[in-house]
Amino acid sequence: MFEQWLGKQLRSPRGILAKWVASYMETGNHDINEWTIQLLDVRPHERILEIGTGSGAALCRIAEQLESGKACGIDSSKSMVKQSLRRTRNIREEGKAELKLGYAENIPFDDRSFHKVFSVHTIYFWTDVQQALKEIYRVMQLDGTLYLSIHLKDQMKKSKKTKDFALYTEEQIKRQLEESHFREITVHMRKNDCCITAVK
């Protein structure tokens, strides 16, 4: 029962325990977030979008590496956006970050806004993967790169909390990316983690 409740909360934390869920996610995602940020190879001038900011930990890490660039983020949970806004107040005041309530399927940013887009552990919750990839493609600059980090499907299936998640193999994601006109698709592996990169 608890595992299923937690799975629903991971999709979109809300209610009095949202703060605890955010802390749980931040701890559990720390290693894959750090690995993904390494792969991003952040440049000081870049505009980078995170889909699914959670409490804003990864966004803060990226903003630290920016000078003229900007770290932007969206999350579908009002509770998470509130937490992220509190956490990123200083870097937002410096003009290095921007946060909005939003969904992968309807990204509230202009065409060709970002050099890089990344997302860690959110594709399981997208209601329409093709529409989400279409939106990501739209907001990316030409030659921009997408980074999608996940746990492998077989690993995720072992947990009761992922019962209602939409799980994908790296091959399934690669196929979706190809159908959405992405190119130079590469699979990076680390233990049970997988990051799939693709260029517009």
4 — pLDDT class (breaks 50, 70, 90): very low
CA distance 18 to 44: 33
**What are the sequence ranges of the domains in the chain?**
2-199
Query: What residue type is assigned to position 47 of the chain?
Result: R
What average pLDDT score do residues 129-151 get? 96
pLDDT confidence of 93, banded at 50, 70, 90?
very high
DSSP letter at 150?
E
Residues with Cβ within 8 Å of residue 96, at least 6 apart in sequence: 63, 66, 69, 70, 71
Instruction: Report the amino acid identity of residue 127.
Output: T
CA distance 87 to 96: 13
Predicted confidence band of residue 162 (pLDDT cuts 50, 70, 90): low
pLDDT digits (tens, 9 = 90+) for 104-126: 999 999 999 999 999 998 898 89
Question: What is the CATH number that goes with domain 2-199?
Answer: 3.40.50.150
* Of 101, 76, 77, 75, the residue nearest 17 (C-alpha): 77
Instruction: Please tell me whether residue 16 adopts helix, strand or coil conformation.
Output: coil
Beta bridge partners of 97: 71
- Give the pLDDT score at 26: 52
